[in-house]
Amino acid sequence: MTQVTAQSLLELKRKREKFVCVTAYDAGFAAVISRAGVETILIGDSLGMVVQGHRDTLPVSMDHMVYHIEAVSRGNAGSLLIGDLPFMSYSDTEKTLHNSARLMRSGAHMVKLEGGSWLCESINKLTQRGIPVCAHLGLTPQSVNTLGGFKVQGRSEAAARRISDDAHEVEAAGASLLVLECIPQQLAAAISRQLTIPVIGIGAGPDTDAQVLVLHDLLGVTPSPPRFVKNFMAGQDSVEGAFRAFSSAVKSGEFPAEEHSFNH
């Protein structure tokens, strides 16, 4: 696969062609995922839960992220690599610039951070200095303690308005991509329509420009996975087949279905 870039993803959105993202944490899976034609790989801080066995993502450190990004980068063959900035690694702009540079030097092509308007100054500075940014709104797992659990966000009119305003602000600040996690499908559809940048959904219904799943959820490894997950290993005889099945189900509009989505 020729190297996927932020520009080629924007072009896919212009052509109304959907794309996919899968999380990966090591070279072996990164090689298979990129060989299957998955456009983007997220080295997510979900590794704190699915690799390290923690209850949430808060224990993940910069050193952990660097280790896993380097490994994924060695296996990758053309997918765009998005590296998560872990909890408290972007609490002020100087810290954000320093830690983002570390992730980029480890092999990431873009960094992801969780939050809205309070991050606009950092997003602006990162993009001006050559670091593309993916923002993340809705259920932001690093804020699980202020959100009161892993719950659907944006159900009230006021909460939906805040997410929508944040989405417009991060785009104006220079973000290249936006992840929307666990919000009503109608809200995700409206934001995806209004923004120029591609929106990647997880538990956000079928109308975003792309879909992301956590590797262990997609392969049926997670016991009692959340409602928005589908096991794409079922019926496949190879792991690569599961990634291809995910990609084609998203591109055909078959996934996510109503049963994987949330309403107001």
* Residue, CB closest to ligand KIV: 44
What lies within 8 Å, CB to CB, of 18 at 6+ separation is 12, 209, 210, 211, 250, 251, 253
Q: Is 42 in the site for ligand KIV (CB under 6 A)?
A: yes
Q: Which of residues 69-108 bind ligand KIV (CB under 6 A)?
A: 84
Among 18, 23, 38, 177, binds ligand KIV (CB under 6 A): 23
Query: Judged by CB under 6 A, which stretch of 42-50, 102-110, 160-168, 243-251 contacts ligand KIV?
Result: 42-50
Q: Measured from the CB atom, is 14 or 135 closer to ligand KIV? A: 135
Residues present in the chain in total: 264
Backbone angles phi, psi at 50, to 5 degrees: -85, -25
Shortest Å, Cβ 9 to ligand KIV: 15
Q: Is 39 in the site for ligand KIV (CB under 6 A)?
A: no
Neighbours of 224 (CB within 10 A): 5
Active site residue 240: no
Residues 111 and 104 sit within 8 Å (Cβ to Cβ): yes
Name the active-site residue from 39, 181, 240, 254.
181
Work out the angle between the directed axes of helices 239-252 and 27-35 (0-180°, nearest 10).
50
Q: Which of residues 190-219 bind ligand KIV (CB under 6 A)?
A: 202, 212, 214
Picking from 115, 253, 244, the residue whose alpha carbon sits closest to that of residue 189 is 253
**Interface positions with ligand KIV (CB under 6 A):** 23, 42, 44-46, 84, 179, 181, 202, 212, 214
